[in-house]
Amino acid sequence: MTSQYRRGMVFNEKEVFGKGSPGRCGVDFSDTGIPEADVSALAPETHLRRELKGFPELSEPEVIRHFTRLSQWNYGVDSNIYPLGSCTMKHNPRVNEAVARMKGFTDIHPFAPESACQGTLKMIHDLGDWLCEITGLDAATLQPAAGAHGEFTGLLMIRAALAKRGDARTKVLLPDSSHGTNPASAVFCGYQAVTIKSGPDGKIDLDELSRLMDNSVAALMVTNPNTLGIFESNIVKAAHIVHERGGFLYCDGANLNALMGRAKLGDMGVDVAHINLHKTFSTPHGGGGPGAGPVCVVKELAPFLPVPVVVEEGGKYRLDADRPETIGKIHGFHGNVGILLRAAAYILSMGADGLKAATETAVINANYVKAKLAGHYHEPTPGKSMHECVFNDKLQNEHGVTTLDIAKGLIDRGYHPPTIYFPLIVRGAIMIEPTETESLETLDAFCDAMIDIAKQAKENPESLKSAPVNTVVRRLDEAWAARNPELKCGICG
């Protein structure tokens, strides 16, 4: 490993439970004069913990340093490039955060009357319209709390529409490169998930689709561009096959960052699509949420939208729950409004030209990375990519180095690894999505680190087996940990 990557400080300290001493504390409220509350009136004695046995007793500086160091050891999109393929980990502009914290939005109570929250209702209504314009579809619900929740909602609407025709059908078709949530959502909606094998070009095999698509199939769920970063150029033909036999075409919108402003899903024959606002529209990503996965649909599916739907009448906005064919309510109140606000702020600040430019830059960045790493890593699907590119460890396997070793080597160089071992149809996959928010210098530095690892794999492969060496914690036995999970807290039991 070259010395340029040996930077930063790693503090050698005990775990917090190994620090402190009895009686040490940061703040003492013992002489406040305020009577101690009788907590026994709040809960049964069996539910109260009078003492925290084994809990560390620390001074205020010790507590502050502990949490400060934890924050410094964390890695996020604000630290450096976060190249997770399929996840679109882009910068979250701070103007979005400022808008989401405006008192006119944050001070509204969920039970406030419609007359007191016209601004928020207008925002929800307008954002739905903008997402329909971006996708080329006709109506939207902003209630779903995440992408998988959006899939579930969209499939419920498909099921309701087919049931109205007289047969809800029994199967959903999915490419073998689909996101794992796709088959899960299909099963949750009562369907059997049937896999379609991809062709040698990584795209949907139309002959296989035609063979499987019969009157038992409710929908084809497809991601476009797909999880190999390839545009499904036969999507219109696939839509024709599905529609001709009475099914619906569902598009997983996780990769909309490669299309917005340049192509519309509706023009491709898509009937329903969910949108991951935390991906394409720059709202915070990960950490368990909150998230948002709005769903856009064609006119035929609009009657089945979840209630309530925000409608505009004479310049005023109201919540319409009088929709006889609705699938019902799928989220409390009006969805995760704070995330919707961030997406609306992003769209307004970018404008149509800005969204188009973001897409173009994301595609250029991915192809730049692909070109720089060509020859250093094997390309399972050569050719142009969209917003992300996929390599694997075939060349490094010749020296006994695996994708996991490559990922650990990147950590030593100060980078979060890309998505690895996904999509499953690529053995040893390394899936990289740089997004549009990374500069040329950042991309060059990341690629240099990847190339340096490829060189290390040839010249000193055994050294990669012990990576990372510059981190607080060295390489863990992940297989052992997965098979032997520690589900009890050693302190609290």
Identify the bridge partners of residue 173 per DSSP, sorted by sequence position: 194, 220
| Position 433 confidence tier, pLDDT thresholds 50, 70, 90 | very high
Global confidence as pTM: 0.89
Q: Which residues contact 116 (CB under 8 A, 6 or more apart)?
A: 108
Domain residue extents for the chain: 3-73, 94-349, 353-482
C-alpha–C-alpha distance, residues 449 and 23, integer Å = 48
Structural contact between residues 149 and 294, judged by C-beta atoms closer than 8 angstroms: no
**Predicted pLDDT of residue 3:** 47
Q: Which residues contact 331 (CB under 8 A, 6 or more apart)?
A: 143, 144, 145, 149, 306
pLDDT in tens, 198-252: 988 999 999 999 999 999 999 999 999 999 999 999 999 999 999 999 999 999 9
**Residue 167 pLDDT exceeds 80:** yes
Q: Which residues contact 4 (CB under 8 A, 6 or more apart)?
A: none
Please give the mean pLDDT across all residues of the chain.
Answer: 92
Decide the pairing of beta strands 309-313 and 389-392: unpaired
- Of the CA atoms within 13 Å of residue 86, those in its CB half-sphere come to 21
Q: How many residues does the chain have?
A: 493
Structural contact between residues 252 and 182, judged by C-beta atoms closer than 8 angstroms: yes
**Predicted pLDDT of residue 397:** 98
What backbone torsions phi and psi does residue 240 show, to the nearest 5 degrees? -65, -40
pLDDT in tens, 297-336: 999 999 999 999 999 999 999 999 999 999 999 998 888 9
Which of 132-136, 274-278, 480-484 bottoms out in mean pLDDT, i.e. has the lowest?
A: 480-484
CATH assignment of 94-349? 3.40.640.10
**Residue 269 pLDDT exceeds 60:** yes
**Residue in this structure with the two tokens 């299909």, named with its chain if needed:** 186
Q: How much of the chain exceeds pLDDT 90, in percent?
A: 74
Q: For residue 268, which amino acid is it? A: M
Q: For residue 408, which amino acid is it? A: K
Q: Would you list the DSSP string of 109-156?
A: -TT--GGG-HHHHHHHHHHHHHHHHHHT-SEEE---SSHHHHHHHHHH
**Predicted pLDDT of residue 2:** 46
**Token digits of residue 137:** 């579809």
Which of 308-312, 330-334, 393-397, 436-440 bottoms out in mean pLDDT, i.e. has the lowest?
A: 330-334
Average pLDDT over residues 440-460: 97
**Residue 188 buriedness (CB in 10 A; 0-12 / 13-18 / 19+):** middle
Average pLDDT over residues 405-419: 95
DSSP state of 84: B
C-alpha–C-alpha distance, residues 394 and 403, integer Å = 9
Distances (CA, A) of 199 to 137, 176, 228: 29, 10, 12
**Predicted pLDDT of residue 83:** 96
pLDDT in tens, 4-38: 555 556 666 778 888 888 888 888 766 777 777 77
**Token digits of residue 104:** 């006119």
CATH 3.30.930.10 fits 353-482, yes or no: no
Distances (CA, A) of 181 to 89, 101, 384: 18, 32, 27
**Residue 131 buriedness (CB in 10 A; 0-12 / 13-18 / 19+):** buried
